[in-house]
Amino acid sequence: MSGGRLSTRLSRLLNMVPYFLANPGISAQEAAAELGVSTKQLMSDLNQLWMCGLPGYGPGDLIDLSFSEESIEVTFSAGIDRPLRLTSIEATALLVALRSIADLPGMVDPTAAHAAMAKIEAAIPGNRPADAPAPGAPVEAPAVAAVRHALAAGHALRLVYYSASRDAVSERVVDPIRIVLVDNNSYLQAWCRQAEGARLFRLDRIQEATELDEPARPPHHATDEAAALDLFSDDPSVPLARLLIRPDYGWVLEQYPMHRMSVRPDGSVEATMRFATLDWMARLLLGFGAGVTVLGPAELVTAVRERSRAALAAYENLEVA
């Protein structure tokens, strides 16, 4: 499970105990609708939550729940309903985590995050006094604020978006689903009406966002958390590069959206990768040097070969000069 999916689920689990304490006896269907998950996912979360609690992990330490699809009730909260007293080390760790999240566009309301940080800092012995003015929260980009507001209101969005892979700016209407964290970047997961598919839009590449006065209606299958977090959808209309990756360049497979196809006896890996423009892909592959060899398509092989020759010729001219 990716870090983005884990953090999303952890946040949901932490909110479930106070939610069900405030809504005793609520049905699984009602709770799932309010929490924005499927009934199946909710029941899976409840089974997970049932095994959580305080160190010791005995009957008096674990969260206890009485749940079925008809009714859910917390019978023992394991202290989650009580204010938490943090040690200095715990408070510092929480501050670091809050700062890292607050620095990511769209993940949280920056004003609320910085207010929480100010309260935690004031509670740490020897730190800033509680009545001292808190540093101002950074101003949130208008586009990011519009995305968060539309998501909360359940409205569609019109985006002006810069695609790095295509090196182009496009305008499209999307139905927001959620904001996710992938590889330390925050993305809007949404149903793109133009592409007719679930897509992720990196928030710092959204140049403009306009909330529309119409409800967001992503297809039901697009809202499934497990199915829709693929950052680079396998769109058959986008060209496919076939690559041979040397054994000592295995890190490339982790850093780029490649699909492993087979492993050769010498340990090299055959993989594929979708790309939008020939020039962009050729530049990327040249940066890998001899670590990655292009197997196809023919036009990409030609582009890489021609760029390599041009680069060698430029070096030769420098040596002569």
| Assigned token pair, 59 | 């009957």
pLDDT at 293: 94
Per-residue model confidence (pLDDT) at position 280:
83
> Could you tell me which residues are beta bridge partners of residue 260?
271
- pLDDT for 179-220, tens place per residue? 887 667 788 888 989 888 888 888 889 999 999 999 999 888
pLDDT average, residue stretch 44-55 = 79
Average pLDDT along the chain: 80
Residue 45, token pair as written in the block: 């979360």
Q: pTM value?
A: 0.47
- Express each pLDDT in 91-144 by its tens digit: 788 788 777 777 777 777 777 777 888 887 777 766 655 455 555 556 788 999
Helix segments in 23-109, DSSP class H: 28-35, 39-49, 88-102
Q: Where in the chain is the domain with CATH 1.10.10?
A: 3-76
Does domain 142-223 match CATH 2.20.180? no
Q: What is the mean pLDDT of residues 237-264?
A: 86
For 182-243, the DSSP string reads ETTEEEEEEEETTTTEEEEEEGGGEEEEEEEEEE----GGGG-TTTS--SS---TTS-EEEE
Q: Which of 6-15, 68-77, 307-316 is predicted least confidently?
A: 6-15
User: What are the tens digits of pLDDT across the range 145-168?
Assistant: 999 999 989 999 999 998 765 678
d(CA 289, CA 271): 17
In the block, tokens 């070096």 appear at 315
Q: Indicate the CATH number of 3-76 among 3.40.50, 1.10.40, 1.10.10, 3.10.450.
A: 1.10.10
176 — pLDDT class (breaks 50, 70, 90): very high
pLDDT of residue 227: 47
The model's confidence at residue 269, banded by pLDDT at 50, 70 and 90, is very high
Residue limits of CATH 2.30.30 in the chain: 142-223
What number is the average pLDDT over the span 247-276? 87
Phi and psi at residue 215, in whole multiples of 5°?
-70, 150
62: DSSP letter:
B
